[in-house]
């Protein structure tokens, strides 16, 4: 049995991941703002440092896996906070915990992205560049300025939609770039991402202004299966990526979105490499 850390463990997808790992007999270190083994704020550098310190203390310095699930949605009023929580939080945590994953001999890390990275036409290229450059202060400043320039109808619907989609786009690109460098790949630490679609979590319902399950056929993006996802649908795949048997998969972005991305961009993948 192994030892795993899960951020965002108090609700939604994170709680479902914790349940799966616990049923499988593993030791789970939950991380969240409240109701967790480790309470920490992923939106601040001090919060991230405290989370890493407490995770290492609880694990004895060795981890078999980390599921970076914590995040916020496009309904959050402050675009800067969205960037800090959704991008800089998981990146800092995973970079700091990589040595603990390496010590296990078969470390696995999974990040929760979003299909919004490829289905929302509001990606801010400059914001993505600043995130990937690791400049959190500049990214936060740019996110707020870009948010202030958004049309009022967009702000009324989802005030931080551009920052949200851009943070998830940058996170997916970070996973692809990082998973294959020697410090991760050649040391046996595998890194993958899952891109959920519309999943019935408190975050998703809060973002859409619903208190009950909305009609899938009236959702803004296509829903080919005609149903919404549930946290367990995402947790299942997180568990698969964390298993020791998943030894030949790294740098993958798995869409678990009921076919939304495929419906909107049927020819985007596979895309042939051009010379």
Question: Rounded to whole angstroms, what are the CA distances from 35 to 47, 85, 233?
Answer: 16, 18, 23
CA distance 148 to 141: 11
Exactly one of 4, 164, 248, 255 is catalytic; name it: 164
Q: For this structure, is 4 an active site residue?
A: no
CA distance 96 to 181: 16
Residue 223 DSSP label: -
In the three-class reduction of DSSP (H, G, I as helix; E, B as strand; rest coil), residue 249 is classed as coil
Residue 30 DSSP label: E
The token pair that represents 246 in the structure block: 């998943």
Of residues 73, 94, 102, the one with CA closest to residue 85: 73
Q: Active-site residues: which are they? A: 164
């Amino acid at each position: 049995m192994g030892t795993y850390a899960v951020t965002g463990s108090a609700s939604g997808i994170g709680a479902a991941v914790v349940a799966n790992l616990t049923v499988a007999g593993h030791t789970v270190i939950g991380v969240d703002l409240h109701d967790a083994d480790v309470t920490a704020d992923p939106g601040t550098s001090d919060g991230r440092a405290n989370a890493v310190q407490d995770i290492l203390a609880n694990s004895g310095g060795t981890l078999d896996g980390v599921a970076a699930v914590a995040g916020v949605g496009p309904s959050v009023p402050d675009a800067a906070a969205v960037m800090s929580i959704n991008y800089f939080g998981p990146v800092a945590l995973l970079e700091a915990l990589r040595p603990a994953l390496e010590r296990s001999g078969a470390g696995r890390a999974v990040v929760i992205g979003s299909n919004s990275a490829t289905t929302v036409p509001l990606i801010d290229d400059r914001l993505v560049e600043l995130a990937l450059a690791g400049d959190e202060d500049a990214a936060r400043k740019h996110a707020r300025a870009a948010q202030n320039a958004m049309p009022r109808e967009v702000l009324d619907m989802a005030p931080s939609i551009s920052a949200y989609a851009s943070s998830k786009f940058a996170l997916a690109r970070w996973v692809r770039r990082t998973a294959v460098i020697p410090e991760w790949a050649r040391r046996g630490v595998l890194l993958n991402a899952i891109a959920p679609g519309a999943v019935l979590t408190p975050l998703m319902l809060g973002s859409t202004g619903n208190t009950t399950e909305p009609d899938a056929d009236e959702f803004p993006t296509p829903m080919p299966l005609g149903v919404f996802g549930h946290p367990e649908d995402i947790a299942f795949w997180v568990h698969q990526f964390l298993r020791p048997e998943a030894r030949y998969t790294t740098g993958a972005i798995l869409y678990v979105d009921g076919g939304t991305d495929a419906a909107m961009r049927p020819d985007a993948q596979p895309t042939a490499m051009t010379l």
